[in-house]
Amino acid sequence: MSSLALAPETVDPTPTDWAGAEMRARIRRRYGAERLFKLIGLTAILISAGFLAFLLVTMVGNGARGFTQSEVRLDVDFPRSSLFLDPAALRGFGAAQALAGADFERVVNEAATAQYGQSGPSLFSQGARLRLRDAVRDDPDLLSGRSTIWLPAATAIDIAAKSSGTAAAETAYDRLAAVEAIRTGLNWSFLTGADSTDPTLVGIWGAFKGSLLTMIVTIVLAFPIGVLSAVYLEEYALRNRWTDIIEVSINNLAAVPSIIFGLLGLAVFLNFMHLPRSAPLVGGLTLALMTMPVIVIAGRNAIKSVPPSIRDAALGVGASRVQVVFHHVLPLALPGILTGTIIGMARALGETAPLLMIGMRAFIAAPPGGLSEPATALPVQIFLWSDEVSRGFVEKTSAAIIVLLAFLLAMNGLAIYLRNRFETRW
């Protein structure tokens, strides 16, 4: 009793004067601190969201121009040019050889000099001759007369046409624009081509196809293994040491840095099993090992959320334990599992470091034809282009990033849709 009772002299008997100036000031101070704290929280959120917005705006601002390409008009008088090609030679056997032997670069240079003066050839991209060659191949009749062809502009002119380039390029552009010899249009070859050394000729399709092939290998391996592991751990595993080891392994694998998986792929798949370097097969295997734990963890959560009453009911009508899972639990957990799988795949799609380790950073000028052919992937392509010195690659890199982000956004959107549409709250 005495220990609980306060000594009377330590308690001030006068009630607090809440209306007094001192207390009002104190409350004001406390409320001020409250408002300040709330403001700091709001600022933190806005700064984070601001970074995201700034990142996206920078990328879109730089990248939108990457989808367009300036072209310069070139009048070529084929019969008078130094190109000794017979239209008939391009129709029959040996057309490819005839085209390969023809010096289109000289034709472009001559025609450009004739039309735009001494500096004419520098207006055109290195790849203009290839475009001209393709045009001739598609329509050999061009050779019999004079024709006007639009060819890709050189990088400096291209930049001047879209934004502000160097002073020399700007004057050249103004001269071209005055005679309506330059136009800027959608760059189809960016969406259909593969890597190149010339920024005006690069395309994203090669890397995109490499990514698709890699993702196919990844999902074919990671999805069944991940789902079956999740089923085993959640439904059948006995509480013993082996199960503990499996669980610890999976939880650790989910947190291992991705570059370590690259080292594993390099040591095991390339140096030990001698699988082909730079191939989507090896990339897919490596990413599958990385994605599997994500699918297992998502799968376990989805299976866990199926109420036990469903299992009991199935067991009650005579189903075996395998039938309970495969006929009832798994179908009910599938939306959750799929959501987790898509999120894991989206992570794998954006992953770069492991693919660098297994050599998917090579310069590949043609889209891969199969799983064991050298390929590169979308994020690796972004990394490679970001290293290029030429200024033309800046917008191409950002354009590739837009493609990658759009794809990721679509995958995440699908995951959210699946979750909202099919997920049951028990």
Partner 1 sequence: MSIAFIALLVAGLGLIAWVSARARAAAFAGGGGARTRAHSRPSQHGWYVALWTVVPALLFLAIWNNAAGHLIYASVLASPEAAALPGFGLQRATILNEAYALATGASTTAFNREAFALAPVYARAISFYNMIGLAVALLSAFAAGAWAFSRVSPAFRARTRVERVVMAVLLTASSIAILTTLGIVLSLLFESLRFFSMVSPVEFLFGLNWSPQMAIRADQAGSSGAFGAIPLFWGTIFIGAIIAMIVAIPLGLMSAIYLTQYASARVRRWMKPLLEILAGVPTVVYGYFAALTVAPAIRDLGLKLGIAASTESALAAGLVMGIMIIPFVSSMADDSLAAVPQAMRDGSLAMGATTSETIKKVLVPAALPGVVGGVLLAVSRAIGETMIVVMAAGLAANLTLNPFDSVTTVTTQIVQLLTGDQEFDSPKTLAAFALGLVLFLVTLALNIVALRVVKKYREAYE
Residues in region 282-341 near partner 1 by CB under 8 A: 289, 292-293, 296, 320-322
Q: Minimum distance between the CB of residue 50 and partner 1, rounded to whole angstroms?
A: 10
DSSP string, 145-189: SEEEEEEEBPHHHHHHHHS---HHHHHHHHHHHHTT-EEEEE-HH
Chain residues 61-90 in contact with partner 1, contact rule CB under 8 A: 62
- Using the rule CB under 8 A, is 399 a contact of partner 1? no
User: Which of these ranges, 95-103, 111-119, 191-199, 399-407, lies near partner 1 under the rule CB under 8 A?
Assistant: 399-407
Chain residues 177-196 in contact with partner 1, contact rule CB under 8 A: none
What Cα–Cα distance (Å) separates residue 160 from each residue in 80, 140, 172, 181, 391? 32, 33, 9, 14, 12
361/389 Cα distance (integer angstroms): 17
Q: Minimum distance between the CB of residue 242 and partner 1, rounded to whole angstroms?
A: 8
Paired tokens of 173: 């552009």
Q: Minimum distance between the CB of residue 98 and partner 1, rounded to whole angstroms?
A: 21
Member of 90, 149, 151, 264 binding partner 1 (CB under 8 A): 264
Residues in the chain: 426
User: Which of these ranges, 51-59, 109-117, 142-150, 304-312, lies near partner 1 under the rule CB under 8 A?
Assistant: 51-59
Question: Which residue bears the tokens 């330059």?
Answer: 182
- By the 8 A CB rule, do 225 and 292 touch? yes
H helix or E strand, kind and range, residue 288: helix 280-304
Counting Cβ atoms within 10 Å, is residue 407 exposed (0-12), middle (13-18) or buried (19+)? middle
Q: Minimum distance between the CB of residue 312 and partner 1, rounded to whole angstroms?
A: 19
Q: Minimum distance between the CB of residue 196 and partner 1, rounded to whole angstroms?
A: 19
Member of 97, 113, 171, 252 binding partner 1 (CB under 8 A): 252
Member of 23, 25, 45, 220 binding partner 1 (CB under 8 A): 45
Q: Minimum distance between the CB of residue 331 and partner 1, rounded to whole angstroms?
A: 16
- Using the rule CB under 8 A, is 123 a contact of partner 1? no
Member of 71, 158, 195, 351 binding partner 1 (CB under 8 A): 351
Q: Minimum distance between the CB of residue 354 and partner 1, rounded to whole angstroms?
A: 9
- Using the rule CB under 8 A, is 99 a contact of partner 1? no
379/348 Cα distance (integer angstroms): 10
327/235 Cα distance (integer angstroms): 13
Q: List phi, psi (to 5°) of 74.
A: -135, 125
Per DSSP, helices labelled H in 19-94 are 21-63
Member of 20, 23, 26, 33 binding partner 1 (CB under 8 A): 33
- Using the rule CB under 8 A, is 29 a contact of partner 1? no
Q: Using CA of residue 39, residue 45, residue 47, residue 50, what is the dihedral sign?
A: negative
User: Which of these ranges, 134-142, 170-178, 265-273, 363-371, lies near partner 1 under the rule CB under 8 A?
Assistant: 265-273
- Using the rule CB under 8 A, is 168 a contact of partner 1? no
Which residues, 6+ apart, have CB-to-CB distance to 366 below 8 Å? 194, 206
Member of 347, 374, 390, 414 binding partner 1 (CB under 8 A): 347
Ranges assigned E (strand) in 2-152: 68-77, 146-152
Helix (H, G, I), strand (E, B) or coil at 406: helix
Member of 122, 405, 414, 419 binding partner 1 (CB under 8 A): 405
- By the 8 A CB rule, do 168 and 119 touch? no
Member of 101, 117, 224, 413 binding partner 1 (CB under 8 A): 224
Comparison of 155 and 229: residue with beta carbon closer to partner 1:
229
Helix (H, G, I), strand (E, B) or coil at 391: coil
Comparison of 114 and 259: residue with beta carbon closer to partner 1:
259
Comparison of 153 and 290: residue with beta carbon closer to partner 1:
290
Chain residues 357-396 in contact with partner 1, contact rule CB under 8 A: 357, 361, 379-380, 382-383, 386, 394
